[in-house]
């Protein structure tokens, strides 16, 4: 018979496997029929929700307030990427229509809100586990990063509305200014999120939630991502057909900085389930 630890391991692995699945379904610009798109979204949500419940359920039913807080924070870390399941086949912005991009930025705004709440609460939960060195740094960088992302998405939502209802006095320069300012915001939002992720990964190691090698690997990847952004520069380049071949472009895609926080959320859920 499968032990509780085995079931937790299977649930955690399923959540990890769903990460590239979600990114692949969202990132590939395919025009699904409405019914098939809904079915894809529901299927992904059921798998992610079921796997998350497999870890969160026992921890929540235990009645232990500390474990329940870990569950809440972990779910907040997982939610931003989970919400991407609402955009099957959207692909990059240049491959989507105006209505789809408007929906995209609304979803990203909501996702950034959840990520902000996760970064806010995570420091206190880690403090209860005895970690008070890296978690405050992670919280500061994370809150600043998500605040910048919220401003960025708000600007893009407004821009989509403007494009959909251009007034007679619409000036083309407005689009240029909006694009340039949003690029700068996206750069710093992503950079700060990577810094927060690296700090929180090290904090996870100090708290015993993540092995030191895994934590250092996450921190190293976050550092490489920061260097990639710095090498790319403030402006987000025009994405061509081979955009996925340029690392500096990939790490700057809005949802990509949330990949590792998602994995930290899985690690936190696994920890809560095993306590």
Provide the b/e sequence for 118-150 (b: ≥16 CB within 10 Å): bbebbbebbeebebeebbebbbbbbbbbbebbb
pLDDT score, position 233: 84
Q: For residues 10 and 182, give the distance between their C-alpha atoms in angstroms, rounded to a whole number.
A: 40
Q: Are 46 and 261 in contact (CB under 8 A)?
A: no
pTM of the model: 0.92
pLDDT score, position 186: 92
All residues at 6 or more sequence positions from 172 whose CB lies less than 8 Å from its CB, including other chains: none
DSSP 8-state class, residue 94: G
Q: For residues 168 and 209, give the distance between their C-alpha atoms in angstroms, rounded to a whole number.
A: 57
Please report, for the chain, the start and end positions of each structural domain, with discontinuous segments joined by +.
4-274
Structure tokens at 98: 């105006």
Structure tokens at 12: 């955690």
Provide the b/e sequence for 214-232 (b: ≥16 CB within 10 Å): ebeebbebbeebbebbeeb
- The most distant pair of C-alpha atoms in the chain lies apart, rounded to whole Å, by 71
Phi, psi of 133 (to 5 degrees): -100, -60
Q: For residues 99 and 261, give the distance between their C-alpha atoms in angstroms, rounded to a whole number.
A: 29
Q: For residues 7 and 244, give the distance between their C-alpha atoms in angstroms, rounded to a whole number.
A: 35
- What's the average pLDDT block by block, 10 residues per block, for the chain (275 residues)? 75 96 95 96 97 94 93 97 97 91 96 97 94 96 97 91 68 58 91 98 96 96 95 73 65 93 96 86
Q: For residues 110 and 79, give the distance between their C-alpha atoms in angstroms, rounded to a whole number.
A: 10
All residues at 6 or more sequence positions from 275 whose CB lies less than 8 Å from its CB, including other chains: 59, 62, 64, 67
pLDDT score, position 195: 98
How far is the first Cα of the chain from the last one, in angstroms, to the nearest whole number? 21
pLDDT score, position 173: 45
């Amino acid at each position: 018979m499968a032990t509780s630890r085995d079931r937790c391991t299977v649930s955690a692995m399923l959540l990890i496997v769903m990460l590239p699945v979600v990114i692949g379904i969202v990132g590939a610009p395919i025009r699904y029929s409405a019914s098939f798109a809904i079915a894809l979204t529901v299927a992904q949500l059921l798998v992610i929700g079921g796997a998350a419940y497999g870890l969160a359920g026992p921890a929540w039913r235990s009645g232990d307030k500390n474990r329940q807080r870990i569950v809440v924070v972990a779910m907040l870390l997982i939610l931003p990427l989970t919400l991407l399941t609402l955009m099957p086949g959207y692909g990059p912005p240049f491959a989507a229509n105006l209505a789809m991009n408007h929906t995209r930025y609304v979803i990203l705004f909501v996702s950034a809100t959840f990520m902000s709440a996760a970064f806010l609460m995570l420091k206190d939960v880690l403090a209860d586990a005895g970690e008070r060195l890296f978690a405050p740094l992670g919280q500061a960088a994370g809150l600043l990063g998500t605040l910048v992302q919220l401003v960025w998405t708000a600007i893009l939502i407004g821009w989509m509305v403007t494009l959909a209802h251009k007034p007679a006095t619409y000036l083309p320069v407005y689009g240029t200014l909006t694009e340039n300012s949003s690029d700068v915001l996206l750069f710093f939002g992503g950079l700060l999120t990577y810094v927060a992720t690296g700090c929180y990964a090290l904090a996870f190691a100090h708290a015993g939630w993540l092995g030191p090698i895994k934590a250092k690997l996450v921190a190293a990847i976050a550092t490489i991502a920061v260097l990639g952004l710095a090498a790319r520069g403030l402006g987000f380049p025009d994405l061509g057909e081979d955009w996925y071949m340029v690392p500096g472009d990939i790490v700057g895609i809005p949802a990509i900085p949330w990949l590792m926080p998602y994995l930290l959320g899985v690690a936190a859920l696994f920890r809560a389930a095993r306590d």
